[in-house]
């Protein structure tokens, strides 16, 4: 690594680079490399009270990550250069003046400590707020959990009073206007096992929240999403003891007539979550169903694609698809889709969905064709008594049937009896 090419001439220029004796090559799996570097720098802080700074440089097309230890007295120590290769890290030291490795021992101690701690995990508590999003703008009231409940390692606590979000509604004769959607968010507490909250804990908590909200959306036949967090429960914003609600949240009077449709956190949630953790295909089927639920109101053509994808995924989970021996393309997709929806729909509904699969879904995917009320900003169509309105029928019937089929099939695969919090 003696020949150095810098794209940025302001980078620190070493006079020499040498392998770090004893740690020239450290075997480590790719998914633990970030943790190892974190442990090394953590050791520098705890052992020597050293801070650090870093930069990335390109040396003859090779990526090199550089770390400098910031000593309290400002002394310049050798810098650590790290090169990532398959299942290993190569460590070098770089310095100024004559070649010397006398001050490399700090790096060796830190790397040794980092390797020793690799795989250790801490448990961090987090809190988040999840809330329901309006799917049908003319319905003014949402769902409500009656009281706090702990399911597995998760605690769900409902807001004592409802809040109102603004939603856009397009209704004659006023046209597009603002309506209010009243609902009751949930404060959710859980824990995550990670090596550092900011490095991997936050991301792991977000991934879990996505799975939890997807399963709740499936159970309650609604669209529940992350509204705030995840964060340390002790974190305060604007000196507020309570959650930071945001400008679009309007606290409502508890005496308003919207009492909230009652829901219960399903006791099967931990079991279903464990199933999704083990079955990636099923996990993505549940997630894409949630995508469809969030798209129904304003993007019904895209919602159909999401629900169809979930149905196809479930069908492939139940039976591995046959592939062409020549081109490896999946065979019999249309028949497999039709057979799947027949298990949970009436014959007329199954035929309606099968026709949409072959025509409308295909035209959206391959031609960018839109079929629903998104063609007129979510209006209600011509509302003619005599002329059929294909856009209205597509959004309000075809997509609704697809959502019901997707939900029923997913719940069945998860071993759950379909249950709806309110009828659509």
262 plus 358 within the same structural domain: no
Give me the CATH number covering residue 25.
Answer: 3.30.310
Provide the β-strand partners of residue 84.
Answer: 89
Evaluate whether residue 56 is within a structural domain: yes
322 plus 195 within the same structural domain: no
Q: Are 69 and 44 in contact (CB under 8 A)?
A: yes
With residue 188 as reference, give the H or E element that holds it: strand 186-194
141 plus 174 within the same structural domain: yes
Number of domains present in the structure of the chain? 3
Evaluate whether residue 6 is within a structural domain: no
pLDDT at 312: 94
| Alpha carbon distance 207, 145 (integer Å) | 23
State which of 68, 92, 117 marks the end of a domain. 117
**Of 126, 100, 120, which Cα lies nearest the Cα of 42?**
120
State which of 91, 117, 143 marks the end of a domain. 117
Evaluate whether residue 242 is within a structural domain: no
pLDDT at 328: 60
**Residues in Cβ contact with 68 at an 8 Å cutoff, skipping those fewer than 6 apart:** 12, 52, 53, 54, 77, 79, 80
Evaluate whether residue 7 is within a structural domain: no
128 plus 252 within the same structural domain: yes
136 is in which domain, residue-wise?
121-237+248-271
134 plus 151 within the same structural domain: yes
231 plus 286 within the same structural domain: no
pLDDT at 6: 41
325 plus 338 within the same structural domain: yes
340 plus 412 within the same structural domain: yes
| 373 DSSP assignment | G
Q: What are phi and psi of 17, to 5 degrees?
A: -135, 135
**Angle between the N-to-C axes of helices 399-413 and 300-318, in degrees from 0 to 180, rounded to the nearest 10:** 30
33 plus 76 within the same structural domain: yes
Evaluate whether residue 416 is within a structural domain: yes
| Alpha carbon distance 133, 297 (integer Å) | 10
Evaluate whether residue 3 is within a structural domain: no
Q: Which of helix, strand or coil describes residue 157? A: strand
| Alpha carbon distance 14, 96 (integer Å) | 5
90 plus 131 within the same structural domain: no
Give me the CATH number covering residue 413.
Answer: 1.20.120
Evaluate whether residue 283 is within a structural domain: yes
State which of 117, 152, 184 marks the end of a domain. 117
32 plus 156 within the same structural domain: no
255 plus 132 within the same structural domain: yes
**Per-10-residue mean pLDDT, the chain, length 424:** 46 91 96 96 90 92 93 87 96 89 85 96 95 80 92 93 82 82 92 95 97 97 94 73 62 68 94 96 97 93 97 83 65 84 95 93 93 88 85 93 97 81 36
* pTM of the shown model: 0.87
| Alpha carbon distance 50, 68 (integer Å) | 10
pLDDT at 246: 60
Evaluate whether residue 58 is within a structural domain: yes
Kindly list the strands in the beta sheet with 250-251, ordered across the sheet, starting from the edge strand earlier in the chain. Answer: 175-183, 163-171, 250-251
Provide the β-strand partners of residue 175.
Answer: 171
| Alpha carbon distance 371, 389 (integer Å) | 11
């Amino acid at each position: 690594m003696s020949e150095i090419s810098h794209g940025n001439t302001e980078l620190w220029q070493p006079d020499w680079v040498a392998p770090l004796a004893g740690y020239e090559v450290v075997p480590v799996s790719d998914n633990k490399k970030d943790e190892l570097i974190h442990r090394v720098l953590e050791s520098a802080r705890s052992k020597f009270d050293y801070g650090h700074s870093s930069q990335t440089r390109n040396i003859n097309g090779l990526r090199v990550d550089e770390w400098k230890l910031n000593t309290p007295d400002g002394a310049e120590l050798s810098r650590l250069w790290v090169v990532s290769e398959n299942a290993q890290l190569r460590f070098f030291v770089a310095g100024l003046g004559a070649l010397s490795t006398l001050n490399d021992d700090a790096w060796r101690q830190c790397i040794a400590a980092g390797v020793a701690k690799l795989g250790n995990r801490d448990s961090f508590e987090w809190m988040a707020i999840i809330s329901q999003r309006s799917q049908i703008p003319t319905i003014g009231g949402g769902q409500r959990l009656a009281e706090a409940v702990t399911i597995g390692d998760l605690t769900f606590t409902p807001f004592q009073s409802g809040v109102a979000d603004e939603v856009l509604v397009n209704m004659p004769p006023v046209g597009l206007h603002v309506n209010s959607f009243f609902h009751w968010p949930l404060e959710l507490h859980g824990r995550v096992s990670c090596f550092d909250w900011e490095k991997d804990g936050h991301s792991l908590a977000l991934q879990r929240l996505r799975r939890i909200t997807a399963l709740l959306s499936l159970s309650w036949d609604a669209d529940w999403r992350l509204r705030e967090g995840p964060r340390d429960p002790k974190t305060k914003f604007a000196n507020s003891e309570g959650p930071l609600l945001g400008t679009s949240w309007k606290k409502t009077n508890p005496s308003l007539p919207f009492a909230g449709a009652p829901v219960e956190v399903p006791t099967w949630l931990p079991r279903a979550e464990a199933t999704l953790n083990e079955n990636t295909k099923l996990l993505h089927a549940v997630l894409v169903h949630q995508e469809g639920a969030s798209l129904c109101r304003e993007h019904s053509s895209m919602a159909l694609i999401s629900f169809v994808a979930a149905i196809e995924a479930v069908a492939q989970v139940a039976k591995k698809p046959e592939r062409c021996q020549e081109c490896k393309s999946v065979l019999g997709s249309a028949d497999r889709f039709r057979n799947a929806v027949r298990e949970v729909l009436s014959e007329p509904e199954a035929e309606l969905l099968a026709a949409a699969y072959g025509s409308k879904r295909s035209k959206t995917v391959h031609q960018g064709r839109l079929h629903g009320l998104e063609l007129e900003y979510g209006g209600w169509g011509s509302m003619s008594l005599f002329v059929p309105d294909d856009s209205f029928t597509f959004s309000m019937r075809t997509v609704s049937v697809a959502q019901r089929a997707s939900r029923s099939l997913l719940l069945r695969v998860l071993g759950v009896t379909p249950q709806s919090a309110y009828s659509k």
